Amino acid sequence: MFVQRWADIATTDTALLLSGGVDSMTALFAALECGHKPRCYTFYLSGYKSADLAAARKVTDYFGLELIEVGIPSTLDDLIRDTFAIIDEVDWEYYLGVRKVTIQTMHPLLYTTKAIEESKIVAGLGGGKLSLDSRKASIEIYHGGEEAADDLRCDRYAVDDDSLQYQRTYQRAGIEYLDFYAFTDAYRWVREIPVIAFNQRKAKWGLVKPFLDYWKKRPMYRAPAPYQIASGLRRFHDRLLKTRWNPKGWVQVQKVYQQIAKERGVRFGAKYYFPVQIGPYRHEVHVASPRIRVFYDASTLAEF
């Protein structure tokens, strides 16, 4: 299934965003099974130790692949300038408010969009939706059991706001962004696997198992971590807490982002829809109008 996915979306002018985590490695192994050796791109924050960079170097060296390492400057002035640029870049009309994860995961795109030479870029960022190896999923399982976690996974079948934002940002740079996991067969397949079973031997075991022979060639597995954490981006952004945009001494950088967004006149929610379940159908209702979009099943959501 994943090999066919790569064959369906990739051309000779397709590159891969590679963090060295399970999601992007699965995409890479699918490419190798197709006989493709894509150029890989990864990023690093100057002066910060990056587990992603180390993992990407290890795997590309082993398989003889070209790796482009995109550096992000890390002075406070760079951070302030880049935060402004990110807030200006994001299409906040699709959001109800500033999201910390959106700003931090968008940061590398300021630089990768300038570095990528290919017309298409494949990313594995959607793998987390399939595995639900997240803290939120663990809480759901603890309080509501496996069924609650499965419901959470079903709710995430639609391409989320951030994936759509990455797509728009790359498109503006003339690059087609492809979420490797956003296809109907993947959602149907994972729906048959309980969340706990999907992660039982290792986190994201369901994605490791199809390419076990590749993983056995050399120990390359590492425990999953959000790339803003593994790269040091989250810690870097916390430096904004000591700037003039934190007049009240907040301890969460989210408040600083909100302050900057307010100064820059950001408006939210003009195109935001929230989900409503009515009988067997899932509706999405616009926050500012009576317009309704109806989705009949997970495959329709996946194709949206």
DSSP assignment string, 236-275: HHGGGGGSTT-TT--SSHHHHHHHHHHHTT----TT-EEE
| Residue 129 confidence (pLDDT) above 70 | no
Write down the mean pLDDT value for the chain: 80
Distances (CA, A) of 52 to 17, 120, 212, 301: 11, 22, 20, 31
Q: Which residues pair with 179 in a beta bridge?
A: 123
| Residue 293 confidence (pLDDT) above 60 | no
Highest mean pLDDT, choosing among 51-55, 134-138, 161-165, 293-297: 51-55
Distance CA 231, CA 223 (A): 14
| Residue 263 confidence (pLDDT) above 70 | yes
| Residue 281 confidence (pLDDT) above 70 | no
Question: pTM of the prediction?
Answer: 0.81
> What CATH number labels 2-265?
3.40.50.620
**pLDDT at res. 211:** 83
Least confident interval from 104-108, 121-125, 241-245:
121-125
Do 123 and 166 form a contact (C-beta atoms < 8 A)? yes
Q: Which residues are CB-contacts of 59 (< 8 A; sequence separation ≥ 6)? A: 18, 20, 25, 28, 65, 220
What are the structure tokens assigned to 165, written together? 């934002």
Distances (CA, A) of 225 to 23, 27, 192, 222, 262: 11, 17, 25, 9, 31
Higher pLDDT, 127 or 229: 229
Residues in the chain: 304
- Dihedral of alpha carbons 276, 282, 287, 291, sign: negative
Please give the helix or strand (H or E) that residue 227 lies within, else none: helix 227-230
**pLDDT at res. 67:** 97
Do 243 and 81 form a contact (C-beta atoms < 8 A)? no
Residues forming CATH 3.40.50.620 domain(s) in the chain = 2-265
* pLDDT class of 34 with cuts at 50, 70, 90: very high
**3-state DSSP assignment of residue 219:** coil
What are the structure tokens assigned to 127, written together? 């793998």
* pLDDT class of 208 with cuts at 50, 70, 90: confident
Mean per-residue pLDDT, 20-27: 88
* 3-state helix vs strand vs coil in the chain, percent to 5: 50, 15, 35
* pLDDT class of 162 with cuts at 50, 70, 90: confident
Distance CA 226, CA 236 (A): 14
Convert the pLDDT of each residue in 35-69 to its tens digit: 999 999 999 999 888 888 888 999 999 999 999 99
| Residue 190 confidence (pLDDT) above 80 | no
| Residue 115 confidence (pLDDT) above 90 | yes
**pLDDT at res. 292:** 40
| Residue 151 confidence (pLDDT) above 80 | no
- In degrees, to the nearest 5, what angle opens at C-alpha 18 toward C-alphas 200 and 223? 30
